[in-house]
A and B are shown apart, each in its own frame.
Chain A
Amino acid sequence: MMSFTDGEARNGLGRWYDLFSRGTRDWLRHNAKVRQAVRDHLPELVAGSDVLSNPRDRTVKVPVRFLEHHRFRLRDQDDELGAGQGANVKPGDVLRPGQSGSGTDAGGGEGEGPLSFVLEFQIDDILDWLWEELELPNLQPRAGTAIEEDVYVREGWDKRGARSRLDRRRTLKEAVKRRSVQPDSRIPIGNDDLRFRQLARRPKPSASAVVFFVLDVSSSMDEHCRKLAKTFFFWALQGIRRQYTSIETVFVAHTVDAWEFAEQEFFQVRGEGGTKSSTGFARAHEILVERFDPARYNCYLFYATDGHNFSEDRGAATTELQRLLPLMNFAGYAEVSQQSHRHMDTEIAAIWQRLAAEDLPVGSYMLNEDADIWPAIKAFFTDQATRTGVS
């Protein structure tokens, strides 16, 4: 009537289920799908500034929910009925007080409350996805010869040349060819067989860039504003990094005066008092001229502030920018604030708008909350493509 198998005794091969876990297989497949789903919603996800907690790892951790395999289900009711068991329970007894906000897990469901887990993503992957997703144009290197460097590329062969450029394989081939039509020849390799690689001089756009980050650290910039500015700077820099082989960054903070900082300290800097943005631009200009030959570098500048500036500084700031901006590939102005209904009517915004009207390569972006960051990044990369005229 019965048979009894102890798995191990079954055959010499061991049990198939020791070798392979279906649960793991399907769980991995689920994770792959989550990755895909995350990828599809990346702009919303990475806008959360927590991803910036440690950008040096080159990875970000994104908390995600389990995917649900949907089925037809009845609509949730205000009151779900369920059957329970327990002594001394009278109608009207409250067994569990209501909690506001938290989800309900009542009614003896399968107990599958929302669980989440953390997936780790490479920042480089994210950027590639984002560029696809947002259909962002690539950065436009500065047009014109000034920024081009000459490079030598191999091109063709010649019978004469420097010894060091002798192409041995090619030479040997020539020798074999020659001997096959001159069977009597005794010369294994003659001078006529020699082939030398030729180099040609080609102009190549420079692949170096310098990025200036100018941040207003006056007392009116609160934590929220700084965080937005930081996130915007971070992703803008990542985007630029995608394009150029070597990038240098310069961090300038200003109140009524301006200083250069190292990256680590930059976002911790906290100043007192008012705002004179001209000082920041002057400092950036100074550094640019001193250290970076605008002819060899692609230059980008980002400026983040809450928009307040001493009105007597207006003239100075405009002049500084007019001096600085022609040297830039593109400059972005990010206005960060708490209020959501402001429309770039601040002192500094007015200056930048005027400059944009003068056809200088600038764009202005408004940041009130995390969700604004991606549109701003997108606008920045789109603007720089159209403004620089090449597309």
Chain B
Amino acid sequence: MPSRLDQYIPQLEALAAAQGLVYHPVDFEVVPASFMMEVAVYGLPVRMPHWSFGVRWVYQMIQHRMGHSRIFEVVFPGNPNHAYLVDTNSIEENTLVVAHVLGHADFSRNNMAFVRSQEQVGYHIVEQAAAHAHRIQEAIDQQGEQRVERVLDAALALEPHIDTDLPLNRSRYQRPERQVAREPGEADFGGRYARLPGVKAAPAATRLEPLHIPPRPERDLLWFIAQYAPEMEDWERDIFLAVRKESWYFQPVFNCQIMNEGWASYWHSRLLREADFLPSQFYVDCMKTHSDVVSPHASDKQVALRINPYHLGYVLWERLIAERGFSAAREIMQQEDDFGFIRNYLTAEIADELDLFVYSASRAGAVRVTESTLDQLRETILAPKFNFGAPRVAVEDLGSDGSLTLRHQYRDDGRGLDAGRARHVLDYVQQVWRRPVRLITVDGRGEETSLTATAA
């Protein structure tokens, strides 16, 4: 089987280049389904050990056994990209996957979110994650499994709480320049004058207020804790920064899922259509797979409570390329993420055509379709993607006693946090912060409330 694939890959690549796709080289590897499943669960081929991955892995196994989930392809952007194909898939399926991966490779080379992330993280996250895993294994050998696990509990729970608007490598908070300049220094005339005998000390008007930490609410919890935790050990900071770096890498994948999958689906169908070197029956089989992948979750008369991102993205790109041409679509691909993509290009027509709707699900499980405007539909699709899929929680204050105050920005999120879970997260954080930790959010009645760790 691989031998035929071996032939097709260069031909598909040549076709892609002719179509104007620009990408870093792709390393393809054929792997067993079991490995694929792990890659899908861990997000990276080699990653740190943590029990929570074990839970996800078992869920994935169950889904797989029940036939609900099938993984076709995983690709890790970088230079080179690493793409994995499953050895149990048919050659037709894997040929489609190769074309699909080329679409992804083009996307991740050119889309701004990916470009910016890769500028920060570099092009070798697969290798770096393996190195992180190795270092963490060393920490386990030195510190024991339980101590390392406590740190990972905290770090992985805070995984989405990063701030990619600021650079990956940040130094600690600095005083703003102009304030520093006003400080009376040794060499400063005012300072020397003040020390002359007989001169009364000038009123300390220019004395600086101590810098409040953080100077503004800090959303990068992983960074803040690694930098400012009063009693954290170096190996613990190391783990926090490792998790943060991997999270940085995951963010564009998360933020561009609809666009990215749609783009790759568009290109696999187009490349295969134009691949005249494929036997015609072979092409038909490929297209069967294609229609499985990009079909809505609801077949004919059914109704699905989820939207297949492959399908939505595919339809939007097809429409955009047909209406505005290839180069305009390419520009959109480079500049948008899912937020811009859905808000700008999901039109009422397309929403109608795809039969998209908004529903509300009650606590008792009743689901009813609600009246909605196009804007509401767009925002409902995007809602799970806000802020990397997590509530907005920021550091508000580092107390003089080393205590940590977090504040949930509940006005942005519209409601408070799930108090039980939040307390458990505080438990995790407490284990590495080692001083009092509290979190301000609102309760069910909208009153501000302060949560502490359950153990405290």
Stretch of A67-75, A208-216, A336-344, A374-382 at the chain-chain interface: A67-75
Interface 9-residue window, one of A90-98, A165-173, A309-317: A90-98
Binding site for A on B (CB under 8 A): 2, 5-6, 9-10, 13, 25-32, 34-35, 37-38, 41-42, 47, 49-55, 57-63, 80, 87, 145, 149, 153, 156-161, 296-298, 300-308, 311, 354-372, 377, 380-381, 383-384, 390-391, 393, 408, 413, 415-419, 421-422, 424-425, 428, 444
**Which residues in chain A, 105-121, are within 8 Å of chain B measured between CB atoms?**
105-108, 111-112, 115
Task: Give 12 CB contacts A-B under 8 Å.
Answer: A5-B30, A23-B57, A72-B391, A73-B417, A79-B360, A79-B363, A83-B377, A85-B297, A85-B307, A87-B303, A94-B366, A95-B369
Contacts A2-B26, A69-B157 known; 14 new A-B pairs at CB < 8 A? A6-B2, A7-B29, A23-B38, A23-B58, A33-B51, A66-B58, A70-B157, A73-B421, A74-B413, A75-B415, A81-B360, A83-B359, A85-B297, A104-B363
Interface mask (A11-54 → B, CB under 8 Å = 1, otherwise 0): 00001011001111111111101000000000000000000000
Among A7, A18, A25, A100, residue most surrounded by chain B Cβ atoms (within 10 Å) = A7
Q: Known: A67-B55, A85-B296, A86-B357. Is A104-B364 also a contact (CB below 8 A)? A: yes
* Least distance between A9 CB and chain B CB atoms (Å): 9
Give the shortest distance, in Å, between B37 (CB) and chain A (any CB). 7
A83 lies within 8 A of B307 (CB): yes
Output the least CB separation between A65 and chain B (Å). 10
For A389, the chain B residues whose CB sits under 8 A away are: none
Check if A84 sits within 8 Å of B30, measured CB to CB: no
Min C-beta distance of B82 to chain A, whole Å? 10
Most buried by B among A76, A94, A108: A108
Residues from chain A with a CB closer than 8 A to the CB of B62 are: 115
Asked if A17 contacts B38 (CB within 8 A), the reply is yes
**A86 adjacent to B368 (CB under 8 Å):** no
Are B307's CB and A84's CB within 8 A?
A: yes
State whether the Cβ of A78 lies closer than 8 Å to any Cβ in chain B: yes
Q: How far is the CB of B436 from chain A (nearest CB, A)?
A: 18
Residue in B5, B25, B304 whose CB lies within 8 Å of A86: B304
Residues of B within 8 A of A1 (CB): 10, 13, 25-26
Q: Which residues of A contact B368 (CB under 8 A)?
A: 92-95
- Residues of B within 8 Å of A89, CB to CB, are 303, 355, 357, 369
**Closest A residue, CB atoms, query B62:** A115
What is the CA–CA distance of A23 and B49 in the complex, to the nearest angstrom?
A: 9
Residue of A nearest to B423 (CB): A70
B364 touches A98 (CB 8 A): yes
B363 touches A78 (CB 8 A): yes
Q: Are A81 and B359 in contact (CB under 8 A)?
A: yes
B148–chain A nearest beta-carbon distance, Å: 11
Q: Are A3 and B30 interface neighbours, CB within 8 A?
A: no
Number of chain A residues whose Cβ lies closer than 8 Å to a Cβ of chain B: 67
- Given contacts A84-B304, A85-B298, whether A72 and B365 have CB atoms under 8 Å apart is no
The reply to whether B415 and A2 contact each other, CB–CB distance below 8 Å, is no
> Is there contact, CB below 8 Å, between B304 and A85?
yes
Find out whether the CB atom of B359 lies under 8 angstroms from the CB atom of A74.
no
Interface contact B356-A83, CB-CB below 8 Å? yes
Whether a CB of chain B sits under 8 angstroms from the CB of A265 is no
Question: A83 touching B393 by the CB < 8 A rule?
Answer: no
Residues of A contacting B25 with CB < 8 Å? Answer: 1-3
For A82, what are the chain B residues with a Cβ–Cβ distance below 8 Å? Answer: 305-306, 358-361, 380
Contact present for B30 and A6 (CB under 8 Å): yes
With a CB–CB cut-off of 8 A, which chain B residues contact A97?
A: 365-366
- What residues of chain A lie closer than 8 Å to B6, measured between beta carbons? 4
**A79: min CB distance to chain B, Å:** 4
Residue A99 at the B interface, CB < 8 A? yes
**Contacting pair A91 B366 (CB below 8 A):** no
Contact B380 A81 (CB under 8 A): yes
A106 and B50 form a contact (CB under 8 A): no
Given A21-B34, A75-B444, do A27 and B357 touch, yes or no (CB 8 Å)?
no
Whether, in the assembled complex, A80 has its beta carbon less than 8 Å from a beta carbon of chain B, the answer is yes
Q: How far is the CA of A87 from the CA of B298 in the complex (A)?
A: 9
Q: A93 to B303: give the CA distance in the assembly, Å.
A: 11
Which residue of B57, B59, B296, B300 is within 8 Å of A26 (Cβ)?
A: B57
With most chain B CB atoms within 10 A of its CB, the pick from A17, A21, A67, A105 is A17
A25 to B307 Cα, complex, angstroms: 34
Q: Which of A2, A74, A81 contacts B416 (CB 8 A)?
A: A74
Q: For B358, what are the chain A residues with a Cβ–Cβ distance below 8 Å? A: 81-84
Nearest B residue (CB) for A22 = B38
Closest Cβ of chain B: how far from A381's Cβ, in Å? 29
* Interface-centre pick from A28, A95, A115 (highest chain B CB count, 10 A): A95
Query: Complex formed: what's the CA distance from A1 to B428 in Å?
Result: 46
Q: Can you list the 10 inter-chain pairs with the closest CB atoms, starting with the nearest?
A: A86-B303, A98-B366, A106-B361, A26-B54, A23-B57, A27-B54, A69-B52, A98-B364, A70-B424, A108-B306
